[in-house]
Amino acid sequence: MAKLTIQDADVAGKTVLMRVDFNVPLDDQGQITDDRRIQMAVPSIKSVLDRGGKLILMSHLGRPKDAPDAKYTLKPTAVRLGEILGMSVDFATDTVGADAKAKATSLKTGGVLVLENLRFQPGEKKGDAVFADELASFADIYCNDAFGTCHRTDASMVAVPKAMGNKPKVVGFLVAKEIQYLTDAIRAPKRPFVAILGGAKVSDKILVIKNLLGICDKVLIGGAMAYTFSLAQGGKVGKSLVEPDKIDLAKELLAAGGDKLVLPIDNHCGDDFKADCNKKIFKSGEIADDWEGLDIGPETAKLYASIVRTAKTVVWNGPMGVCEIPPFDEGTKIVAQAIADSDSISIIGGGDSAAAIQQLGFADKVSHVSTGGGASLSMLEGQKFEAVEILDNKKEGKSGCCCCCGH
């Protein structure tokens, strides 16, 4: 069943409470170093403002311990949003306190108010109903445009829309787009369908690998988790990062995957975890004792690039190596270039993969760059999102984006 979007809601003269994902990176001076998540929310924000609505934005930032922490204030995001919109954006110094209530009440048509960090309140992570009731009382319409937290059951994601009762509850354009791409990729991919999975731990990607092996034509493995697979095959991995307790699981995945599961054939290794270490290429399963695998090797990079070039759908989540330490970013670069050069539907699943695509200048050469690493992984695992399922459905016969409810 497709979900109603913010465009379907009559916002004129009404207040919209929109959950956004303004969890942006900040430097030591509290300055935003990457505003992509704010930029991605702008279409939904403008939809409300252009149609005569009032807008209250709520988000988390960082991991404060259920109490105010100046390091995690959302004020810089309100300032940056104002610069993007070319207008004054108000900021409440609390979330549901006196300042938030006063500013929400006095908000004028066309106005925007950003509430202080949701996670300054212990009720957010606990999904507290009383906290949710206070937030819900601010508005006439609820909008979820925070894909990065759609896999969570925080108060702002689930308890708040529940507390809205019969008031409209819709998705924003970003959530609609994210779910559409990922749902289509899983349910009806154009083939060949290739998944590229990197990162440190097999345990982080178990369910994704299992799910994708039943859907994909090829699943390419990179990152440190490749060494656990190599160990499971009886290979030598030197001092590479491995999960010894996941050897049996790796064997199960190898047996289930067959020739669908593609592992590195060589590895770019170092004798220390730093850029100026000694470097050497080893065949997979033959890494010497004092060496550590830090990236896929050049032959693997060529192999993966050739597989990607034949694909019609590509999903990528996780770097191929330690991409923050050159030259062990080379495998990630080659894979990213192959995706950018292909004519496939290409979906980049948040986190380090999204950062790599952005930094390499390929963001406009792929179909979709996800704003939510954890959420995109959850969708690739086949999970359902309560935060989306509880929102209002379109009536049958109306077109719209697919949601992840499975109907």
Rounded average pLDDT over 195-214: 88
Q: Is the pLDDT of residue 406 over 60?
A: no
- If asked whether residues 72 and 158 sit together in one domain, one would say yes
- If asked whether residues 138 and 197 sit together in one domain, one would say no
Residue 186 lies in a domain: no
- If asked whether residues 215 and 159 sit together in one domain, one would say no
- If asked whether residues 171 and 244 sit together in one domain, one would say no
Q: Is the pLDDT of residue 407 over 60?
A: no
Please report the beta strands in 93-166, taking only residues with DSSP state E, as ranges in sequence order: 112-114, 141-145
* 292-296 β-sheet, strand order: 279-283, 266-270, 292-296
- If asked whether residues 18 and 146 sit together in one domain, one would say yes
> Helix or strand or coil: residue 56?
strand
Catalytically active residues are 37, 201, 351, 374
Most confident of 56-60, 243-247, 396-400: 56-60
Rounded to whole angstroms, the Cα distance separating 340 from 328 reads 20
Q: Is the pLDDT of residue 379 over 50?
A: yes
- If asked whether residues 45 and 155 sit together in one domain, one would say yes
pLDDT of residue 398: 46
Rounded average pLDDT over 296-305: 98
Between 294 and 211, name the one with better pLDDT. Answer: 294
- If asked whether residues 63 and 167 sit together in one domain, one would say yes
Task: Work out the end-to-end distance of the chain between its first and last CA atoms, rounded to an integer number of angstroms.
Answer: 5
Residue 350 lies in a domain: no
Rounded average pLDDT over 366-394: 87
**Would you place residue 203 in the very low, low, confident or very high pLDDT band (cuts 50, 70, 90)?**
confident
Q: What is the mean pLDDT of the chain?
A: 92
Contact 56, 138 (CB under 8 A): yes
What is the number of domains present in the chain?
2
Residue 170 lies in a domain: yes
- If asked whether residues 156 and 234 sit together in one domain, one would say no
pLDDT of residue 38: 96
**Would you place residue 350 in the very low, low, confident or very high pLDDT band (cuts 50, 70, 90)?**
low
Residue 364 lies in a domain: no
Rounded to whole angstroms, the Cα distance separating 312 from 305 reads 13
Q: Is the pLDDT of residue 400 over 60?
A: no
- If asked whether residues 72 and 164 sit together in one domain, one would say yes
Between 146 and 187, name the one with better pLDDT. Answer: 146
Domain that holds residue 114: 6-176+385-389
Rounded average pLDDT over 115-133: 97
Residue 374 lies in a domain: no
Between 340 and 383, name the one with better pLDDT. Answer: 340
Q: What CATH number has the domain bearing residue 280?
A: 3.40.50.1260
- If asked whether residues 334 and 196 sit together in one domain, one would say yes
Q: What is the pLDDT of residues 267-291, one digit of tens each?
A: 999 999 999 999 999 999 999 999 9
Rounded to whole angstroms, the Cα distance separating 164 from 104 reads 16
- If asked whether residues 219 and 144 sit together in one domain, one would say no
Q: Which helix (H) or strand (E) holds 359?
A: helix 351-359
- If asked whether residues 163 and 204 sit together in one domain, one would say no
Residue 106 lies in a domain: yes
**Would you place residue 397 in the very low, low, confident or very high pLDDT band (cuts 50, 70, 90)?**
low
Rounded average pLDDT over 263-267: 98
